[in-house]
C-alpha cells in the first residue's frame, strides 16, 4: 500500500505523473492495481498506460458489500493511524521549530500499515 497526496481537482494526467514519479520510478512495476471505478482510473489514458506497463487493472465491483467493506476498513485503519501520529505531532517541533501537519506523517503511516499484521489475512501487506 502506498500513500500519495493528491487533490480532488487532479486530472488523470496529474495522477499518472504522481504515479510515475512515486511508484514506477522508485519501485518495480506493479503486477496488479486494484482501484475503484473513478473515471480518473478507467479512462482510455489509464487503460493504455497500464497496458504499456503490463499491469493488470482490477476494479472493485460496484455495489459489492465485501469489496466496499474491505476498502472502507483499510481507509478507516489509515485514518486511525494518521490521527494517532497527528495527536502526538501536535506538540512535536522539528529542528527548525515547525509543527508538522498530517502530510508530514504519511510516510510513517504507510510504514506502520505495511508492517502490521492484518486480521483478515494474518500477513503483512
Longest distance between any two alpha carbons in the chain, whole Å? 48
CA distances from 6 to 14, 18, 119 (A): 9, 8, 28
Q: What is the pLDDT of residues 29-77, one digit of tens each?
A: 888 877 777 777 778 877 888 888 888 877 766 666 565 566 677 778 8
Is the pTM for the entire model greater than 0.95?
no
Rounded CA separation 3/69 (Å): 19
Residue 7: pLDDT band with limits 50, 70, 90: confident
- Provide DSSP, 87-112: HHHTT---TTSPPP-GGGGHHHHHHH
User: Residue 71's pLDDT is what?
Assistant: 66
Q: What is the pLDDT of residues 79-105, one digit of tens each?
A: 888 888 777 765 556 666 655 677 878
Q: Where are the domains of the chain?
A: 1-59, 64-118
User: Residue 96's pLDDT is what?
Assistant: 66
* Sign of the torsion formed by the C-alpha atoms of 24, 30, 36 and 41: positive
User: Residue 123's pLDDT is what?
Assistant: 59
Residue linked to cell 458489500: 65
Classify burial at 2, counting beta carbons within 10 Å of its beta carbon; exposed 0-12, middle 13-18, buried 19 or more: middle
Residue linked to cell 501520529: 85
CB atoms closer than 10 angstroms to residue 64: 10
Classify burial at 5, counting beta carbons within 10 Å of its beta carbon; exposed 0-12, middle 13-18, buried 19 or more: exposed
Query: Is CATH 3.40.50.11540 what the domain over 1-59 is classified as, yes or no?
Result: no
Amino acid at each position: 500500500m502506498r500513500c500519495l497526496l493528491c487533490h480532488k481537482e487532479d486530472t488523470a494526467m496529474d495522477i499518472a505523473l504522481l504515479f510515475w514519479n512515486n511508484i514506477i520510478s522508485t519501485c518495480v512495476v506493479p503486477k496488479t492495481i486494484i482501484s475503484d471505478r473513478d473515471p480518473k482510473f478507467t479512462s482510455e489514458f489509464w487503460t493504455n498506460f497500464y497496458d504499456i506497463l503490463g499491469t493488470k487493472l482490477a476494479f472493485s465491483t460496484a455495489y459489492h458489500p465485501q469489496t466496499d467493506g474491505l476498502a472502507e476498513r483499510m481507509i478507516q485503519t489509515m485514518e486511525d493511524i494518521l490521527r494517532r501520529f497527528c495527536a502526538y505531532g501536535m506538540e512535536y517541533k522539528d529542528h527548525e521549530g515547525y509543527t508538522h501537519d498530517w502530510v508530514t506523517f504519511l510516510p510513517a503511516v504507510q510504514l506502520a500499515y505495511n508492517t502490521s499484521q492484518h486480521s483478515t489475512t494474518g500477513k503483512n501487506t
